[in-house]
């Protein structure tokens, strides 16, 4: 049986640790100490590190971990991360025999030039997507383009609806506020806002979310819906010709929200 545990880091990062009773994999370890603490507390041996992109809050803990553990470091083929031993890209399979898990790599550029995600198919249906997709939101565009990030989100949206979304930040409440400004009549969004607030009050993560839920409430996955188009056009004061244009307006609006 696999456990997936969020190790908290910095202000709002999640370092996901996937483990069985003996071995663990760390995903996007931005810092070493809390990962080591969790491993020691649960008597786990780290067997691999998975990286989604090069930002330091996702990579800063690699050096400290590989000093302690002689393990492979998987990460994007299209980014310069010196500690990576196993560069991977679209459709590569990351075989993690110690925890009996195989993950398929998805290229998801946009937030950064070479961002990737790791998908565990049935029976797991889980996606470790770094900073590409968040609950009710998506990543900022730092190196890629709006078209790239839109296409990356479309790729994710083709996964099974039951897929659990393990993103790398607890941004949900802020994202909900923006989503409600864009899509105020969305009943499921308003219901989720109550649930997320309750989780926050209990000091519990709002992640993972499900792809089915995100397709119902996340404006960045709903750029073809008329209500989202209308909001984007009202904000931009222009006619928008296609979903990528709608997405670009939403992303710019969120930057200033």
Do 16 and 29 meet the contact criterion of CB atoms below 8 Å apart? no
Q: What is the pLDDT of residue 123?
A: 85
Provide the token pair at 150.
Answer: 């839109």
Mean pLDDT taken over the chain: 97
Question: What is the pLDDT averaged over residues 143-156?
Answer: 97
Do 20 and 100 meet the contact criterion of CB atoms below 8 Å apart? yes
Tens-place pLDDT, residues 84-103: 999 999 999 999 999 999 99
pLDDT higher than 90, residue 49: yes
Maximal C-alpha separation, the chain: 58
Q: What is the pLDDT of residue 125?
A: 93
SS3 content of the chain, % helix, strand, coil (to 5): 35, 25, 40
Q: How far apart are CA 249 and CA 230, in angstroms?
A: 11
pTM score of the predicted model? 0.96
What residue spans of the chain are helical by DSSP H?
33-41, 56-59, 62-68, 146-157, 172-182, 187-201, 211-217, 226-236, 243-256
Give every strand in the sheet of 73-76, ordered side by side.
3-9, 13-19, 23-27, 45-50, 73-76, 86-88
Query: Which domains are delineated in the chain?
Result: 3-256 (3.60.15.10)
pLDDT higher than 90, residue 145: yes
Indicate the DSSP class of residue 83. T
Tens-place pLDDT, residues 92-134: 999 999 999 999 999 999 999 999 999 998 888 999 999 999 9
Pick the closest to residue 74 from 56, 59, 57 (CA basis): 59
pLDDT higher than 90, residue 8: yes
Prior bond of 208 cis (ω within 30°): yes
C-alpha atoms less than 13 angstroms from C-alpha of 256 in its C-beta half-sphere: 7
Do 107 and 141 meet the contact criterion of CB atoms below 8 Å apart? no
């Amino acid at each position: 049986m696999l456990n997936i545990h969020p190790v908290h880091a910095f202000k709002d990062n999640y370092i996901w640790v996937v483990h069985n009773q003996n071995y663990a994999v760390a995903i996007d370890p931005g810092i070493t100490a809390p990962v080591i603490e969790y491993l020691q507390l649960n008597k786990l041996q780290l067997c691999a590190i998975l990286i989604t992109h090069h930002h330091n809050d996702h990579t800063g803990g690699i050096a400290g971990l590989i000093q302690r553990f002689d393990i492979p470091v998987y990460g994007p083929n299209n980014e310069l991360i010196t500690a990576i031993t196993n560069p991977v890209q679209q459709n590569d399979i990351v075989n993690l025999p110690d925890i009996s898990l195989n993950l398929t790599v998805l290229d998801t550029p946009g937030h950064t030039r070479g961002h990737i995600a790791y998908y565990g198919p049935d029976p797991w249906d889980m996606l470790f997507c770094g900073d590409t997709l968040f609950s009710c939101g998506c990543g900022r565009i730092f190196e890629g383009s709006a078209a790239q990030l839109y296409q990356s989100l479309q790729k994710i949206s083709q996964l099974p609806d039951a897929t659990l979304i393990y993103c790398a930040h607890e941004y949900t409440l802020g994202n909900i506020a923006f989503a409600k400004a864009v899509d105020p009549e969305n009943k499921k969004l308003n219901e989720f806002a109550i649930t997320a607030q309750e989780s926050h009050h209990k000091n519990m993560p709002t992640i993972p979310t499900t792809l089915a839920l995100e397709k119902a409430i996340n404006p960045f996955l709903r750029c073809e819906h008329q209500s989202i188009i209308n909001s984007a056009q009202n904000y931009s004061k222009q006619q928008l010709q296609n979903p990528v244009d709608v997405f670009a307006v939403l992303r710019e609006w969120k930057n200033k929200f």
